[in-house]
Chain A
Amino acid sequence: MTKPHTLTSFDERLDGLSEQLRSLATTAGTMVDGCLDAFLDKDCAAAQAIIHRDLEVDRLEEAIHADVMDILARLQPVSSDLRLVLAVERAASNLERVGDKAKSIAKRCLALDGAAPALTQDTLDLLRGLERAVSKMLEDAIASLTRRSYILAADVEARDSSADDLYDDLFHHVVAQLQQDPANAAVNVHALFVGKALERIGDHAANIAEEVRFLLRGRLAGAAGESPAES
């Protein structure tokens, strides 16, 4: 992996691609980090900024797609190079979806418009817990890509189920709240959707981690070739 290509521009192109993915990940990451606070604090300015940043995410993703197509057409990568390019391509798509989810969370802040979120402490805790979990998953998924860490990627995938569990808890909690406090049904439903969006962000992080494992081992996760001895 560390050996340079004979064709030096090949390395430059692949490095450039990784660099673009990193800035896409950073941008999407900041959206994820800010969106829940914007929702809970009803900070419309921050929400607007996040929504605006999604344009940047879309632009970066398109740039990566264009670059990937160009690299495939002109450099015809094979083997580990091919897997890297494909992994970056798929990670970019996932990050774009992450941006969409963060944007939809921020949008809910605008939809509430004025009404302070009247959520129970438990709901708040679950949301914040979920946000911390998926945000860390996303961060680690990107880190596993840059560090080529199979172990970290596998760990991220494993953590996806705990994020799912948190969402389940939130779901049951919110359903109970809807019965107990129908007056605040709207804000609770919003909170449930926010939780769902966060959980989806966790899924995308897990997807990225799966791509990293594919990149490192050359097998699609879940493919028949998966042997336990290797992990």
Chain B
Amino acid sequence: MEADATRVVASGVRFQRLVAANRRTDIMMASIGILVLMVASALLASVLVDLILTGWPRLINPDFYTNFPSRKPEQAGIISAMVGTALVMLVTAVVSVPLAVAAGIYLEEYAPKNWLSDIIDINVSNLAGVPSIIYGLLALGLFVYGFGLGETILTAGLVLALLILPVIIVATREAIRSIPRDLREAAYGLGADKWQTVSHYVLPAARPGILTGTIVGLARAIGEAAPVITIGALTFIAFLPPPPVQSTPPFVNFDWLTSPFTVMPIQLFNWVSRPQAEFHINAAATGVVLMVMTLAMNGLAIYIRYQLRKHQRS
């Protein structure tokens, strides 16, 4: 009995050391993680702060947001670039999301598992890795010359839609695949057919994941300059495209689709490549606006996702 008692104490001490060692490892890993995060955040913050400081004189000037580009840096504004970006993004989203979600549903739910679907599968993933300028070349050959769509908002929207299609497809597939098997079986078990199951039960549950993929894709598209330059977007636009809505019937107007345009990254690139230092200030300010737009999109995505979750859970 006494011998047993001492052994219990001894093993207690041994376990104390083991627990202490484990705790040290945990603390070390946590420290490294925090360090890495801090370095990354600090880099991003320093870029943003640097841009804000450099671009400050223009950022606080309301004219910057309402003026067209100009040869005089102090009069130059980004109104045409902002409107161009917004409209191109609209086309991109409207084209890419339905296509990509439909493709994702097909690949995940309907496609038979054979060599053809395997090839499609692999290529969708590969497309996500194709350099964006290649998409620009494709669009130049196909949309601009092939279909004769010209250097328009429509062409830009289409090429960016192509660019982010694989991102949304992959996100949609992941989201659909993450729907638990029992939810699907519950729907089938009630007698639902495939389309009822997918549209009523799988897609709603997959919505947060699809939305995240969409935002990630659009955030990538908003910053792309290369494909848009390739198709020949203008850098100096002193007018706005015709407004999509009008006061007379039919109230909507699609003329803007065929309008020449510029977008924020091109405007930024243009200014930064000018020799005058004043234009660099404009470029910095444009960079800040672009980043704010991207962050706002992400913020919106997080908000919508939160709302969807809340709706589902509580």
Say if the two chains contact directly (CB < 8 Å). Answer: no
A residues neighboring B (CB under 8 Å): none
B residues neighboring A (CB under 8 Å): none
